[in-house]
Structure 1
Amino acid sequence: MMMEALLATQVRANMGSFIDTVVREKPQAVRRNRDVIVAASIDQMRFFLSAYDLKFEYEQDENNRFAGSVEEIAFIVGDGETLDELRLDLARQLVEYAHDYFNDYIRYYNAPNTRSHAPYVFRVLLEDDIDAVSHMLHG
């Protein structure tokens, strides 16, 4: 591993300092036996995941309603009387899916058809509310 990893015993003995470093300076790797994890702040994670844009496609029907889906997670589909309502509907469904994914992470992450959703799921879960998620969607 190219990133130097701290030993878990060092981190336990200096937890406050460890967290301060992660939040104010940089992510940190921690090793316990053969296992290595990386700790990052919420702001750092938002930045890292900002490269994972969520795009949606839509159509307008003969009744002038909008229907669409999220390109990166095609089974997230929604509709609305306006484009903003569609975006909000898609955002609600994204939040629900993100919670389901995280609550059953082992199953979703290990399934070939949903593994690639993981960075998008984390990006959604890092947002504070449904409006923030709706603003992540680009049509």
Structure 2
Amino acid sequence: MNQPLNATEVRKHWSEFIDSVVRNKPAQVKRNRDLLAVLSMDQLEALLESQKIKICVIQEEDGTFTGSIDNLDLAANESSIEQLKQTLLQDLVEYASEYMDNFDLYFKSPNRKAHFPYVYKVNTLIDSTEQLKEEVEIYRGDKNNA
């Protein structure tokens, strides 16, 4: 296990520290009682790669489709699966923005803390709606188990 680096030393050698993180490996920095993780965007992307955005879809008796994003409290009902996907992704982008705007509240809420990896992925690593669409996996749910 790596020992955290002292913040004062990191500050003195800032350029070398950044180069080391980007080219070699993540680091931890300790300042007083605070401990920080520092990693490159490539390392962050690898860390969040397993956080898949999965939508469970159920066809209703009236022919519409109800879907929800796994691990998040987002659900919608639309006339087609494509429209459902579009609505849920729009809701996800809005939720991710709201989460970060109210980070202190959301992150400290027990029922929303686990949303953070998905929110951070959407806010930090996804550049476009098309890229977000590529991240989504859709699967059919069983209405009896919903």
Distance 2:23 2:86 in 1: 34
1:93 alignment partner in structure 2? 91
Where 1:10 maps in the other structure, the secondary structure is helix
Structure 1 vs Structure 2 CA RMSD: 1.8
1:29 alignment partner in structure 2? 28
The answer to whether 1:132 aligns with 2:138 is: no
Shift of 1:22: 1.3
2:19 alignment partner in structure 1? 20
2:105 alignment partner in structure 1? 107
Give ranges in structure 1 of 5+ residues lacking alignment: none
Once the two structures are superposed, the pairs formed by residues 21-60 of structure 1 within 5 Å of their partners are: 21-60=20-59
Distance 2:22 2:82 in 1: 35
Distance 1:136 1:66 in 2: 20
Q: 1:41 to 1:79 in 2, by over 3 A?
A: farther
Distance 1:14 1:118 in 2: 31
2:67 alignment partner in structure 1? 68
Distance 2:77 2:132 in 1: 16
Shift of 1:101: 0.8
Distance 2:77 2:45 in 1: 28
Shift of 1:90: 1.4
Counterpart amino acid of 2:81? L
2:82 alignment partner in structure 1? 84
- Per the normalisation by structure 1, the TM-score is 0.86
The answer on whether the counterparts of 1:72 and 1:117 sit within 8 Å (CA) in structure 2 is: yes
Count, aligned residues: 137
Distance 1:46 1:117 in 2: 16
Shift of 1:65: 4.2
Shift of 1:130: 1.9
Distance 1:21 1:82 in 2: 49
1:9-51 deviation digits (Å, cap 9, x = unpaired): 1111121111111112111111111211011111111111112
Shift of 1:85: 3.0
Deviates more, 1:55-64 or 1:108-117: 55-64
Q: 1:84 to 1:42 in 2, by over 3 A?
A: farther
- Per the normalisation by structure 2, the TM-score is 0.83
